[in-house]
Amino acid sequence: MRTQSLEDFCNWIEQTSLSQAVQSNAWVVPTVQTIHILAIAAVLVSTLLINLRLLNLSGNDMSVSRLLDRYQPIIWKSLPILLVTGLLLIAGEPARSLANDVFQLKMLLLLGVIALMVVVRGHVRKDSSYYDPGRGHRGQANLFALTSLALWVGIVCAGRWIAYTYS
């Protein structure tokens, strides 16, 4: 999606002093990207451990609800870091990101995975044994886990592809 008003908006961002500062200091983008990647690392490992547990593949000494308590806050705390660093990267090159189909796809996938996390957390909040054995929610747990993993893999791939897809 690439509308005239979106392009105008990108042009406006490029003129801001923040954007100029990001563009004219060569160390800013790599540094901000490094922080972005470290936050992604925190998210990925947390989501992997949660989803391996939902799939009953690892961490079975802890209940799903305990594991969520341990690892989901890491994801929630990383998201603001990703947002701020992501916004700085956008400020530096607005058209390359905002007007890029792959970036827009990445944001859609992100919304999807956040919605999924809210649903899983909601289940466990209401009933902490919701995903325990014998409750008949195995299929649901597997579906959520595989979808969540696929979405995060998609988010990371889209993120890397942004660098290659601006025309």
Partner 1 sequence: MQLETLFKWLYETSFAQALRESEGLFPWIECVHVLAICLVIGSIAIVDLRLLGIASRERRVTVLSAQILPVTWCAFVIAAITGLILFSSNAVAYSRNFYFLGKLLLILLAGVNMLTFQFGVFKSVHHWDSSTSVPTLAKVAAILSLSFWTLVVIFGRWIGFTLVPAIAG
Burial of 82 (0-12, 13-18, 19+ CB in 10 A): buried
Q: Which of residues 40-59 bind partner 1 (CB under 8 A)?
A: 40-46, 48-49, 58-59
Q: Per CB under 8 A, does 30 bind partner 1?
A: yes
Compare residues 11 and 60 and give the one whose CB is closer to partner 1: 60
* Residue in 34, 77, 87, 119 binding partner 1, rule: CB under 8 A: 34
Closest CA to 161 of 97, 99, 111: 97
Q: Quote the least distance from Cβ 75 to partner 1, whole Å.
A: 11
Residues binding partner 1: what is the number (CB under 8 A)? 29
Q: Quote the least distance from Cβ 37 to partner 1, whole Å.
A: 5
Compare residues 21 and 157 and give the one whose CB is closer to partner 1: 157
User: Binding residues for partner 1, per CB under 8 A?
Assistant: 26, 29-31, 33-34, 37-38, 40-46, 48-49, 58-59, 61, 70, 153, 156-157, 159-161, 163-164
